[in-house]
Chains A and B, each alone.
Chain A
Amino acid sequence: MEGLIQLGQELSKLLTPRLIFDVLWSTQLGIMVGMLPGLTATMGVALMTTLTYKFASSHAVLILICMYIGAIYGGSRTAILLNIPGTPANAATTVDGNPLAKQGKAGRAMGIATTGSFLGSLFGMIMLAIFTPIIGNAALSFHSFEYFWLTIFGIVICGSLTAPKDPLKGWISGFLGLFVATIGMEAMHAYRRFSFGNVELAGGIQLLPAMIGVFGFSEVLMVMKQPAVEIVSNKIEKVIPNLKDIVKYWKTIIRSGFIGTIIGAIPGVGEDIGAWVSYDFAKKASKEKEKYGKGSIEGLIAAETGNNAAVAGAIIPVLALAVPGSAPAAVLLGAMLIHGIRPGPLLMIENPTFIYQVVAMLFLATCAMFILGLSFIRVFVKILIIPRQKLMPIVFALCVIGSYALSAKMFDILVMTVFGIIGYAMKEMDYPVAPLVLGIILGDLLDSNLRRSLILTNGNILSFFTRPISLVFFLFILITIFSQMNWFKNLLKTLQLFIKKLFLKIKMS
């Protein structure tokens, strides 16, 4: 009850004309960023972070959350109309969204996508409100050993889930990111690692320019490399969704909301996996499996509910553990740190109302996304006819300003360019870039906690395995790694058969 009162108070503080105006324009901007292939939610949030640097902290975080939610939803429009996901989170939306558009039901599809996103976001928001304090309280018992294993677990699970066909590449990407984080002045002795006498390198590789490069510039190069997409004009009829469609698939909505939130909360994994896993589960449980891939309303709802639920899910570990659940959440974490907010287990003690503020912000952003998503579609969809050769140089110019704005250093622009080229090469060779970015974020956490743990135990590594939570993390890491190996899969199959036979024997006797 006290929580609801607190939430109401925080919500009422946000309901001023100025803030509502900011919610609307930033959500609409997010929707437009999400719609445009080549612009991702991460890029949008990263650019807005540097631009809102001078704003008050709660104001800045509100704008970023609105941009985040808008962008993850916005990509569904291009996914439906052009079969091109505006952001990776909307890849699953293309499977059933575009066939619906080809059947002349583009408006209906967009209405369903908007409603699915709205409900997914609300579900995730409720889960965030319930679970963040619980996880944060549990994390208060974390010591350096647990934080060490948490970072390794984050890299391993992120690598596995973002590169399911070749997890080795995901892990390589993650550990490379951890290495990049070691460049520069380290915290214990102020020793400059891997700077080779260069003053700029001694300051380390900043997260935002690296992220903008990996997600922004590399995307510009990828878009320009692909052949041009012919925009086929699609008549958009009624957009307001049919209530029957939503009520009929209520189980799918709840299941996808739950799955999306859980997947979003796993470090570094993100909304795209949330959408695909929700879609897969919906298909397996569906009574209309044959419609999937051919314009299934249920499939579309599952994908969009899953990806937007993952947004709030990704914010849960940001607030509770200071570990991002996705790339845009990583930028949000960076933004919070820049504005003097310290997410993590101590947030509940130092700034307990902040969680309620974030829930209120999510609620407002979700409502704005729903209203704007069903309005002016025909007007804003015209933005898709902008040819990429006109859009991409603007995107790159924004990448440059975004990298430069924070510290006014030309070195950051260089970092953005280099990481853009690295990101492009990685994508060409099927290396996921999310673990690289997660590694850069978690590198400092790993470094300080590993050394602290070794100092505390005087090099005795047994303590890394004997503490209960550490042991659990260690076992999860082992299972995640071994589950990718054929001998382990065969061992599991053998065990399954053995258990089945045992149960049959018991039944028969």
Chain B
Amino acid sequence: MKPEDMNKADFFTSIFLFLLGLIVFIISIGMPTFRELGANHYSAPGIVPGILGIILLFMGVILFIRSFIRKGYKIQLSFQGLIKFLKNDSIKRFLVALFLSIFYVILLGKINYFLLTTIYIFLFVWSFELKTKKTLFFALLEAVLIAACISYVFRYLFLVILP
């Protein structure tokens, strides 16, 4: 990431951290202390997360000040910029890998594991290769073989329950 982009990322992260620390602290002080049951108030469940919330809040403030000094607040968002970002080859590869993987996770347990893994591997391989009949055939063959191998090895050799 370029330094100016890093400063912008730090600016947003600092706000997130500050809010996270604040929310954690507020939830923590609202946790019961169990004093009515005779417990020592220093054993309250909210003590440690409360302290951690304050520390995260404090670090968020430091990061905010630092990113502000480095002009991280200068965010120039534009539609063209977003389109250019999405058209970048690296981002396209990342998004394809991410969405295919999330799609796989969502369908796990709902579809037969072997079939789902075959589809996932096939789509993954085919998305990044040249779209010819030969690559289609080999992608499908590899997907079937690999999914079968994984299913067999883990189910029958390592005795692992498959999702």
Chain A positions within 8 Å of B, measured between CB atoms, are 50-51, 54, 168, 171-172, 175-176, 178-179, 182, 186, 188-189, 191, 193-194, 217, 220-221, 224-227, 387, 389-390, 392-394, 396-398, 400-401, 404-405, 408, 410, 413-414, 417, 421, 428-430, 446-447, 450-451, 454-455, 458-459
Q: Any chain A CB within 8 A of the CB of B160?
A: yes
Residues of A within 8 A of B6 (CB): 429-430
The distance in angstroms between the C-alpha atoms of A88 and B51, with both chains bound, is 33
| Chain A min CB distance to B114 (Å) | 11
Mark B110-154 against chain A: 1 for CB-CB distance below 8 A, else 0.
000000010011001101110000000000001000110010001
| Closest A-B pairs by Cβ, 7 of them | A389-B128, A454-B42, A224-B97, A393-B124, A225-B94, A191-B45, A405-B160
| Chain A min CB distance to B50 (Å) | 10
Task: Give residues 1-44 of B contacting A (CB, 8 Å).
Answer: 1, 6, 9-10, 13, 17, 24, 27, 31-32, 34, 39-40, 42-44
CB pair B90 A417 closer than 8 Å: no
CB pair A172 B49 closer than 8 Å: no
CB pair A417 B47 closer than 8 Å: no
Q: Any chain A CB within 8 A of the CB of B69?
A: no
Residues of B within 8 A of A186 (CB): 45
- Select A220's contact among B44, B97, B161, beta carbons within 8 Å: B97
CB pair B90 A393 closer than 8 Å: no
CB pair B121 A50 closer than 8 Å: no
- Select A50's contact among B24, B31, B104, B160, beta carbons within 8 Å: B160
CB pair A226 B160 closer than 8 Å: no
- Chain B: residues with Cβ within 8 Å of the partner, total of 64
Task: Give residues 79-100 of B contacting A (CB, 8 Å).
Answer: 89-91, 93-94, 96-98, 100
- Select B31's contact among A193, A408, A421, beta carbons within 8 Å: A193
Decide: A394 near B10, CB < 8 A? Known: A168-B59, A450-B47: no
| Chain A min CB distance to B38 (Å) | 12
Look across to chain B and name the residue whose beta carbon is closest to the beta carbon of A401. Answer: B154
- Select B127's contact among A50, A178, A389, A430, beta carbons within 8 Å: A389
The distance in angstroms between the C-alpha atoms of A326 and B22, with both chains bound, is 31
Look across to chain A and name the residue whose beta carbon is closest to the beta carbon of B155. Answer: A401
Q: Any chain A CB within 8 A of the CB of B156?
A: no
Look across to chain A and name the residue whose beta carbon is closest to the beta carbon of B109. Answer: A410
The distance in angstroms between the C-alpha atoms of A179 and B117, with both chains bound, is 34
Look across to chain A and name the residue whose beta carbon is closest to the beta carbon of B124. Answer: A393
CB pair A400 B34 closer than 8 Å: no
Residues of B within 8 A of A387 (CB): 128-129
| Chain B min CB distance to A194 (Å) | 7
The distance in angstroms between the C-alpha atoms of A193 and B27, with both chains bound, is 9
CB pair B105 A413 closer than 8 Å: yes
- Select B56's contact among A179, A220, A413, beta carbons within 8 Å: A179
CB pair A417 B101 closer than 8 Å: yes
Could you tell me the dominant secondary structure of chain B's interface residues? Answer: helix
CB pair B42 A389 closer than 8 Å: no
Some 12 contacts from A to B, beta carbons below 8 A apart, are A51-B158, A172-B17, A189-B43, A191-B34, A193-B45, A393-B100, A394-B146, A429-B6, A430-B6, A450-B47, A451-B47, A455-B40
| Chain B min CB distance to A325 (Å) | 23
The distance in angstroms between the C-alpha atoms of A172 and B40, with both chains bound, is 30
| Chain A min CB distance to B126 (Å) | 9
CB pair B24 A414 closer than 8 Å: no
| Chain B min CB distance to A482 (Å) | 15
The distance in angstroms between the C-alpha atoms of A123 and B52, with both chains bound, is 39
Residues of B within 8 A of A405 (CB): 154, 158, 160-161
Indicate the member of B6, B10, B101 with the most A CB atoms within 10 Å.
B101
Look across to chain B and name the residue whose beta carbon is closest to the beta carbon of A226. Answer: B90
Residues of A within 8 A of B104 (CB): 396, 400
Q: Any chain A CB within 8 A of the CB of B75?
A: no
CB pair A393 B56 closer than 8 Å: no
The distance in angstroms between the C-alpha atoms of A39 and B48, with both chains bound, is 35
Look across to chain A and name the residue whose beta carbon is closest to the beta carbon of B147. Answer: A397
- Select B47's contact among A50, A226, A429, A454, beta carbons within 8 Å: A454
Decide: A430 near B1, CB < 8 A? Known: A168-B63, A191-B45: yes
Residues of A within 8 A of B24 (CB): 179, 194
Decide: A394 near B48, CB < 8 A? Known: A225-B90, A389-B127, A429-B6: no
| Chain A min CB distance to B84 (Å) | 17
CB pair B142 A390 closer than 8 Å: yes
CB pair A194 B62 closer than 8 Å: no
Decide: A179 near B43, CB < 8 A? Known: A410-B108, A410-B163: no
CB pair A400 B108 closer than 8 Å: yes
Decide: A227 near B49, CB < 8 A? Known: A221-B97, A414-B105: no
Residues of B within 8 A of A400 (CB): 104-105, 108, 163
Decide: A227 near B90, CB < 8 A? Known: A179-B56, A394-B146: yes
CB pair A172 B108 closer than 8 Å: no
CB pair B43 A401 closer than 8 Å: no
The distance in angstroms between the C-alpha atoms of A220 and B102, with both chains bound, is 13
CB pair B52 A394 closer than 8 Å: no
| Chain A min CB distance to B91 (Å) | 8
Indicate the member of A401, A429, A458 with the most B CB atoms within 10 Å.
A401
| Chain A min CB distance to B4 (Å) | 13
The distance in angstroms between the C-alpha atoms of A2 and B156, with both chains bound, is 43
Residues of A within 8 A of B97 (CB): 220-221, 224-225, 392
Decide: A188 near B45, CB < 8 A? Known: A54-B159, A224-B94, A397-B120: yes
CB pair B162 A401 closer than 8 Å: yes
Decide: A224 near B48, CB < 8 A? Known: A390-B142, A408-B161: no
Look across to chain B and name the residue whose beta carbon is closest to the beta carbon of A447. Answer: B48
The distance in angstroms between the C-alpha atoms of A397 and B128, with both chains bound, is 17
Indicate the member of A50, A396, A446 with the most B CB atoms within 10 Å.
A396
